[in-house]
Amino acid sequence: MCLRESGEMYLETVLLLSQSGEPVRSLDVANHLGFSKPSVSRAMGKLKSEDYIKIDKLGYITLTQKGESIAKKILEKRFVLKELILKLGVDEKTAATDACRIEHVLSDETFNALKNYQDKK
């Protein structure tokens, strides 16, 4: 199954929040993204049913290997894209916003080409 942008954003958010070392719950994801708790709960249920996340009895969310792999890939895209955009002279806030938007539609082929280009510079 191919995840949509919203699914990728949820996985990415779970990864970012979990990096603090604190357990992650749907409410944390909702607060971080500014979404309603019911919307996040529905999305988490879907991600769980598709084996991207696990939710324990206390409601704590962890990424499965499959979910973590996707989240890390999306974060890498954001980082590389932001760095490239900053090198073009765009301000930090705009670069971060644009990178976040682009990361979800950029093909792996184009991303790898951009990454290789950046590595050569």
> Distance between CA atoms of 43 and 41, rounded to whole angstroms?
5
What is the separation of C-alpha 104 from the centre of its chain, rounded to a whole number of angstroms?
A: 9
pLDDT (mean) for 95-100:
94
Domain ranges in the chain? 5-69, 75-120
CATH number (1.10.1060, 2.170.140, 2.40.160, 1.10.60) of 75-120 reads: 1.10.60
Q: Which fold has domain 5-69?
A: Arc Repressor Mutant, subunit A (1.10.10)
Cα separation values, 50 from 12, 30, 82, 89, Å? 16, 20, 30, 40
* Per-residue confidence (pLDDT) for residue 54, from 0 to 100: 98
Q: What is the pLDDT of residues 7-45, one digit of tens each?
A: 999 999 999 999 999 999 999 999 999 999 999 999 999
pTM exceeds cut of 0.75:
yes
